[in-house]
Amino acid sequence: MAQATMHDGRIPTLRESKRERQSTMRELVTRHPISSQQELVELLAARGYTVTQATVSRDIAELGLAKVARADRHVYASPEDLALVATATDVPLRRLLGDLPLTIRRSGLTLLLITSAGMASALSQAIDESTLQDQEGTLAGENTVLVLFADEERLLRWRSTLERFRPDDGSRPGTNH
């Protein structure tokens, strides 16, 4: 394989090579649904970068890439892509919080979100697809969603964020806490 060269014809330094490789990685995750580090290794090899999985792993951490759910699998996304996803994925949750009566109760490290009959599943799904990440999971019944947490700090942070998502204009129904 030929040695990569810079635009001015010289051989790149290690820092320049890393910067270009990471730039290429950002481009790849933006354009392709990449679900594993091995896929990144192979796509980088096709672009002339010979790297190990360990190098890709370090680059992923340095670039702040994260796995997100897309369609039927998890793929890498850049922080810039995550910002775009965040505004879109919170819309259903914000809409439901504005439209539904909601009572929030607590039992240990579990929050109980009590809403209208038949709406718990929709609320649970909106939470699962939102940017809220502190919960361990949700479980929906007919009118109640159980939101499970690993520790007190995450529960409090999550509840605070959920409260910020709720409209505060006094127009929402059933706002008992």
Per the structure, how many domains does the chain have? 2
Task: With a cut of 90, say whether residue 159 has pLDDT above it.
Answer: yes
Residue 172, domain member (yes or no): no
Which secondary structure element, helix H or strand E, spans residue 114, and what is its range? strand 110-114
Cβ atoms < 10 Å from Cβ of 131: 15
Q: pLDDT (tens digit, 9 = 90+) per residue, 88-140?
A: 578 899 999 999 999 999 999 999 999 999 999 999 999 988 888 889 999 99
Paired strand residues for 68: 75
Pairing of strands 110-114, 103-107: antiparallel
Do 127 and 71 fall within a single domain? no
Lowest mean pLDDT among 25-29, 90-94, 98-102, 170-174: 170-174
The domain boundary residue, chosen from 87, 104, 120: 87
Q: pLDDT (tens digit, 9 = 90+) per residue, 39-60?
A: 999 999 999 898 999 999 999 9
Contacts of 79 (CB under 8 A, 6+ apart): 63, 64, 65, 66
**pTM higher than the cut 0.85:** no
The domain boundary residue, chosen from 87, 110, 143: 87
Do 99 and 71 fall within a single domain? no
- What is the residue range of 148's domain? 90-165
Q: How far is CA 57 from CA 10, 63, 67, in A?
A: 28, 10, 13
The domain boundary residue, chosen from 87, 106, 132: 87
